[in-house]
Chain A
Amino acid sequence: MANVVTSSASSAGHWLRPDIVRQLIWYLLIVVLVFWCITAPSRDANLSLYFSFMMWITLASSLNFIAGFAGYMPFGFVAFYGLGAYGTGIAVKVLGLPIWLGVPCGAALGVAFALLVAPSLRLAGIYFAIVSLSLAIICQRVVALLPEWLTGGSLGINLGVVADREHGYYAMVLVLVGVLVTASWLARSRLGKALKAIRDDVEAADAMGIDVARSRLKAWLLAALFASLVGGVDAWFTGAFDTQTAFDVLVTAKTVIYAMAGGLGTALGPVVGAGVLVWVDDQIWRAFPVLNNFLLGLLIVVLILFAPRGIVGSLMQRFPRLRRYVM
């Protein structure tokens, strides 16, 4: 018999209702996070660290749309990030567009690619993961083979003075807000429930009237949109990239690890996972410049062993009452 997850019976209609408290906590978190990041330049803080903090939260959150909600783990997730960067670079260098218009072009390229490979979602489990990984590798090879005037060849694309670093930083804040608001909407929406049903049992969801193909396509496109926006904004911030950095499998690996460490399937999980691990990574790196990767790896193994559902997921499993307060 299950332990009954109780609720205070008198709470209906009260402003302290769990769903309202849940939203208050979440939006407060967003406000604090954004304020803290947006004021970083004026505090002379380490912008690279803040930027990577926002970038990984955004990537982990967008991965969560497809992996956490819908249950499809894309091992080739970096393709969206890379295409976002290249789309942006080409729009700026070849078409001569201003960078703030280049980033949406990069996002459009990422989303178009997502549409193109959407039939791979018909595959289940590990088959989908492997095909996704292969598609990302193909993507990298194709970009590497494109003519030099378009993609800069092996030197990649250098945006140089076109891309103002601080503007790129603020663009990242915007994308972060976008992904967090989308995540909270998804967590409460009917689409989110349909996706979770698909994740838990795709045949049962189908038999209960859920249009599986349509629902998961929406999640897929949302994930691609934000991941490619990050690619474009990262190009804006750093100013240069090539096929090695833009399609680095480590981008996928880190995104997956951060999202899982926090916990897939809630809006909060990836934020906590990426936030904590980026910070820990930075601390370890300062304290142990030699052993940092080993220690981080060890920490991740311990986390997976003792909290297989991630920090947030495992807390919710252990303390079921928390569930109703977590977005």
Chain B
Amino acid sequence: MSDTVLEVQALTKRFGGLVAVDGVSLEVRKGQIVGLIGINGAGKTTLMNCVNGIYRSDDGQVRLNNADITRKTPHEIALAGVGRTFQVPRTFRRMDLIDNLMVPLLHTDASDADLTARAEDGLRQVGLYELRHNHGEELSGGQQKLLELARVIMLDPELILLDEPFAGVNPSLCRIMLQQIEKLRDASKSFLLVSHDLTSIYRLSDHLYVLNQGEIIAEGLVEDVQNDPVVIEAYLGN
């Protein structure tokens, strides 16, 4: 498939005896928002860490635009076009917001003035411009999640991995977040969206995967997955 952006094949990640990700295969196409759901501990974050290179997977392959990126380092994968946010926001605590957004731009040869302008614009997009001289640590949890989204947008990646973007974010900030995601999708960016909260993910996703104890137990369109008895059982307990 020529429009496949991300292709994960039989990926496995073990921690000692625990198999956190167990032979997972999935695919994200251009302009698609793919949802990945599953209860806490299902292996969603671990999978994401394997895709962006923070964890080294034990088995399987990750391909980006048909190029193997399985053994690449996180910064190589970032520059190849994969951006991500973190479940617990990881802003640069003691850098101001402008510098926070400049970090993904440092490798470019644009002028410093240009970088500043782009960072300021990025902050305006998510409504954090007024706080541009504040440090990352001075933001609320929800604001930090927005800052992370703005930061990953600066990287201008083809594929964005979002780990629980709405968790702990108040409704008005959630709205900004949703707007930004939809805007990026309209600009043909692809997403792998991880959440254990179903409402937002049902609304956004074009395609869904359900992860349970490291394995994909269901996939398909939202309507199909929603009513799948296997999924209901996994969510409501055995």
Are A320 and B90 touching (Cβ within 8 A)? no
Interchain Cβ contacts under 8 Å between A and B, 28 examples: A1-B140, A2-B140, A2-B143, A3-B138, A190-B106, A193-B95, A193-B99, A193-B103, A193-B106, A197-B92, A197-B103, A200-B91, A200-B95, A201-B91, A203-B74, A206-B73, A207-B75, A207-B84, A208-B103, A208-B151, A208-B152, A209-B103, A209-B106, A210-B103, A210-B106, A211-B75, A323-B96, A324-B133
Interface size in chain B (residues, C-beta < 8 A): 35
**A142 proximal to B (CB < 8 A):** no
B143: chain A residues within 8 A (beta carbon): 2
For A210, list chain B residues within 8 Å (CB): 75, 103, 106-107
Contacts of A6 in B (CB 8 A): 133
User: How many residue pairs bridge A and B at CB < 8 Å?
Assistant: 94
Contacts of B86 in A (CB 8 A): 204
Q: Is A154 an interface residue (CB 8 A)?
A: no
For the complex, what is the distance from the CA of A206 to the CA of B106, rounded to whole Å?
Answer: 12
Q: Indicate with 1 or 0, residue by residue over A36-71, a CB within 8 angstroms of chain B CB atoms.
A: 000000000000000000000000000000000000
| A5 CA to B155 CA, complexed, in Å | 26
**Is A2 within 8 A of B131, CB to CB?**
yes
What residues of chain A lie closer than 8 Å to B73, measured between beta carbons?
Answer: 206
By a CB distance below 8 angstroms, the chain A residues around B83 are 207-208
* B104 interface hit (Cβ, 8 Å): yes
CB distance from B72 to the nearest CB of A (A): 11
**Across the interface, which residues of B come within 8 angstroms of A205, CB to CB?**
92, 103
A144-158 contacts to B, CB under 8 A, are: none
Instruction: Say how far B146's CB is from chain A's closest CB, in angstroms.
Output: 13
A212 adjacent to B96 (CB under 8 Å): no
Find residues 153-189 in chain B having any chain A CB closer than 8 Å to their own CB: 155
Is B4 engaged at the interface, CB distance under 8 Å to the other chain?
A: no
Name the CB-closest residue of A to B86: A204
A2-B131, A197-B95, A200-B93 given; A207·B74 CB < 8 A? yes
Q: Is B198 an interface residue (CB 8 A)?
A: no
Which residues of A are interface residues toward B (Cβ below 8 A)? 1-7, 190, 193-194, 196-197, 199-201, 203-212, 265, 320, 323-324
Q: Does B94 contact A (CB under 8 A)?
A: yes
- Annotate B129-147 by CB proximity to A: 1 below 8 A, 0 otherwise: 0110110101110010000
Is the pair B155, A208 in contact by a Cβ cutoff of 8 Å? yes
**A206 with B75: CB separation less than 8 A:** yes
B62-101 CB contact bits vs A (8 Å, 1 = yes)? Answer: 0000000000011100110001101000111111100100
Indicate the member of B91, B106, B143 with the most A CB atoms within 10 Å. B106
Instruction: Kindly state whether residue B42 has any CB partner on chain A within 8 Å.
Output: no
Contacts of A2 in B (CB 8 A): 131, 134, 138-140, 143
Closest Cβ of chain B to A313, distance in Å, is 9
B-side contacts of A194, CB under 8 Å:
103, 106
When C-beta atoms are compared, the residue in chain A nearest to B101 turns out to be: A208
User: In the complex, what's the smallest C-beta–C-beta distance from A311 to chain B, in angstroms?
Assistant: 16
A-binding residues in B (CB < 8 A):
52, 54, 73-75, 78-79, 83-84, 86, 90-96, 99, 102-104, 106-107, 130-131, 133-134, 136, 138-140, 143, 151-152, 155
Cβ distance A319 to chain B, nearest Cβ, rounded Å: 13
7 A-B pairs with the lowest CB-CB distances in the bound complex, closest first: A2-B138, A5-B133, A209-B78, A200-B92, A206-B74, A204-B90, A208-B104
- For the complex, give the distance between the alpha carbons of A22 and B151 in Å: 27
Which residues of chain A are near B140, meaning CB under 8 Å?
A: 1-2
Residues of chain B within 8 A (CB-CB) of A265 are 94
Q: Is the Cβ of B52 less than 8 Å from the Cβ of A207?
A: yes
- A265 to nearest B CB, angstroms? 7
> A212: which B residues are within 8 A, CB to CB?
75
Complex CA gap A190/B114 in Å reads 13
What CA separation (Å) do A209 and B77 show in the bound complex? 8
Return the chain B residue nearest A206 by Cβ. Answer: B74
B144 CB to closest chain A CB (Å) equals 11
Chain A residues whose C-beta falls within 8 Å of the C-beta of B139 in the assembled complex: 2
CA distance A205 to B104 in the complex (A): 8
- Provide the residues of chain A in CB contact with B79, threshold 8 Å: 209
- A7 surroundings in chain B (CB, below 8 A): 133
* Docked complex Cα distance between A207 and B83 (Å): 7
For the complex, give the distance between the alpha carbons of A71 and B159 in Å: 30
Please state if B54 and A196 are interface contacts (CB–CB under 8 Å). Answer: no
Which chain A positions have C-beta within 8 A of B102? Answer: 193
Q: Chain B contacts of A193 at CB under 8 A?
A: 95, 99, 102-103, 106
CB distance from B79 to the nearest CB of A (A): 5
Q: Cβ of A206: which chain B residues have Cβ within 8 Å of it? A: 54, 73-75, 78
Q: A204 to B88: give the CA distance in the assembly, Å.
A: 11
State whether A320 and B94 are in contact (beta carbons under 8 Å apart), knowing that A196-B99, A209-B75, A210-B106 are contacts in the complex. no
Give chain A residues whose Cβ lies under 8 Å from the Cβ of B84: 207
A265 to B140, CA, bound (A): 23
Residues of chain B with a CB closer than 8 A to A4's CB: 130-131, 134
Instruction: Give the Cβ gap from A215 to chain B, nearest Cβ, in Å.
Output: 9
